[in-house]
Chains A and B, each alone.
Chain A
Amino acid sequence: MAESKTYSFFLGCVMPNRFPNVEASIRLVLPKLGIELEDIDGASCCPAPGVIRSFDEPTWLALASRNLALAEMTGHDIITGCNGCYGTFKETLLEIHEHPERLKEVQEYFKGLGIKFQGKVDAKHLIEVINEIGIEKIKKTITRPLNGIRVGVHYGCHLLKPSKNRPWKQTQRHTFLDELVEITGASSIKYKDKFLCCGAGGGVRGSQVAVSVDIAKEKLDNMIEAGVDCIVDVCSFCHLQFESSQVQLNKELGEQKYQIPVLYFTQLLGLAMGLDPTNLGLEVHVINTQPLLDKILS
């Protein structure tokens, strides 16, 4: 790609600390699309919109503003690969833009720490940036079409909602991620309740794990019913939910019913770009990806 743009890459918690393989695939694939990534030295938890925001909203707003400020000071917009972090930044920016006194409040908390923040930075999800590049340009990077691969696409919640504060053309029944998945040659398979939550957010996975896993089970059952080869997601927390819940469900069942490989979007796109599965982190998954790789590489 001729033109490239640099973003401040916000990692969050779950991606670097539980799924570094997802991080590796993002660092490998995005530059091939002309998206350059710069680390945000000293970033913290976003903090999580359903958890820390639920405990103490002013702390959530202040720490989110600090992360935004670190990017703002470098002059780049934030890019994130987690729906939760994305939600935190979108809602924080809206709050300080609509209520200037809230910006003053966080600036007060930053006094003497050398953190300058005006709220001028923007925050984007990496799938939003990829979507802006456009299907035709991305198509040119495909060297190994994934024909015949059946994908269960999972958008997640905070990527799409609240729709009033999101950039998508539609407010429901979105298709942009399905279209991006299908650039690779794979097929996005229709399944029941596709827009259902993964069940991880809001502190539910953390405190009421049985309820959380049961929500994931409903989605997984629907995908099994539709006959998918893999799940493709764009959120590190949804990713954790699908990887971990399958292990948990198999343990409870005493059989290996749940074996759907869970891929992050950049892992799928990377495979279609002809990149080495090892470098895309596909060998360190919780659910074995080998059956899928055999199908693709054979």
Chain B
Amino acid sequence: MTDSITRETIDNDAIDPDFLDKIVEAGADRLRTCIQCGTCSSVCPSGRRTAFRTRELIRKALLGLKDEVLSSPDLWLCATCLTCLERCPRQIKVTDAIIIMRNMAVDEGFMLPQHRKASQKLIETGHAVPIDDANRAIRKDLGLQENPPTTHSNEKALKDVREIMKRTGFIELIKEEEEES
């Protein structure tokens, strides 16, 4: 008879010893002090209704399970409410660690299509949520400038914003994603 309980083992190849160092270097400096108490999971509004477990994510990061962490859509369930960061008894910047891992995920090519779209809007207009006709009309009715006094009504400003995004590599980063999809 075969054992009906399969033991999940962690493959040595799945462990990247540099992963944790990189997260710590990027600013989540107390991550190693995690005692897996689960306070982060217990206060998480996303965790209340999904299988997202902040404690598990942090444990996987500590183990160096880079590919598993970065490819998981769970990484994008954090609403960045910062409650875990406030409550962590080890004062770990949990939310910062998640944002750092998200940056790494995007670098590796893991980006949700809706997020790519929002980034494209930012590149096109200077706004992640740009104006539309309905709101132009509402603005006018309310006695406001039809297009807000932002990059929406200043071409030089939009050009500057795009130039900065070109220099930081953001335009290239979003473009690469497009080609891959």
Cβ of A6 to closest chain B Cβ, rounded Å: 16
On whether A162 and B85 interact (CB within 8 A), knowing A44-B127, A66-B161, the answer reads yes
Cβ of A182 to closest chain B Cβ, rounded Å: 26
Residues A161 and B82 in contact, CB atoms below 8 Å apart = yes
Residues B138 and A284 in contact, CB atoms below 8 Å apart = yes
- The answer for the CA separation of A24 and B115 in the assembled complex, in Å, is 29
Give every chain A residue within 8 A of B142 (Cβ-Cβ): 20-21, 24, 279, 281, 284
Which of A20, A42, A59 contacts B138, CB < 8 Å? A20
Give every chain B residue within 8 A of A115 (Cβ-Cβ): 160
Residues B132 and A57 in contact, CB atoms below 8 Å apart = no
- Per-residue CB contact flags for chain B residues 8-34 toward chain A (1 = under 8 Å, else 0) read 000000000000000000000000000
On whether A161 and B85 interact (CB within 8 A), knowing A54-B103, A110-B164, the answer reads yes
Residues B173 and A214 in contact, CB atoms below 8 Å apart = no
At the interface with chain B, which of A123-131, A205-213, A261-269?
A205-213
- Per-residue CB contact flags for chain A residues 89-113 toward chain B (1 = under 8 Å, else 0) read 0000000000000000000011001
Within 8 A of A (CB), among B103-155: 103, 106, 111-112, 114-115, 118-119, 122, 126-132, 135, 138-139, 141-144, 148-152, 154
Residues A42 and B148 in contact, CB atoms below 8 Å apart = no
Give every chain B residue within 8 A of A43 (Cβ-Cβ): 149-151, 157
Is B63 interfacial (CB 8 A cutoff)?
no
Give the interface centre of B48, B78, B81, B143 by most chain A CB atoms within 10 Å: B81
Cβ of B155 to closest chain A Cβ, rounded Å: 9
Give every chain B residue within 8 A of A197 (Cβ-Cβ): 45, 79, 81, 83
- Per-residue CB contact flags for chain A residues 28-65 toward chain B (1 = under 8 Å, else 0) read 00000000000111111101111111111111001100
Residues A56 and B169 in contact, CB atoms below 8 Å apart = yes
Is B80 interfacial (CB 8 A cutoff)?
yes
Q: Which residue of B lies closest to A25 (CB)?
A: B142
Is A17 interfacial (CB 8 A cutoff)?
yes
Cβ of A129 to closest chain B Cβ, rounded Å: 20
Residues A161 and B86 in contact, CB atoms below 8 Å apart = yes
Which of B128, B143, B164 contacts A51, CB < 8 Å? B128
- How many A residues touch B, CB cutoff 8 Å? 64
- Per-residue CB contact flags for chain B residues 43-76 toward chain A (1 = under 8 Å, else 0) read 0011011100000000000000000000000001
On whether A18 and B46 interact (CB within 8 A), knowing A44-B150, A113-B163, A157-B81, the answer reads no
- The answer for the CA separation of A55 and B160 in the assembled complex, in Å, is 20
On whether A54 and B102 interact (CB within 8 A), knowing A47-B122, A197-B79, A284-B142, the answer reads yes
On whether A214 and B122 interact (CB within 8 A), knowing A50-B79, A56-B168, A113-B163, the answer reads no
Q: Which residue of A lies closest to B162 (CB)?
A: A44
Which of B99, B115, B138, B164 contacts A113, CB < 8 Å? B164
Which of B45, B76, B150, B161 contacts A208, CB < 8 Å? B76
11 contacts between A and B (CB under 8 A): A23-B148, A40-B150, A41-B154, A44-B126, A55-B111, A55-B170, A59-B169, A113-B160, A201-B81, A202-B78, A202-B80
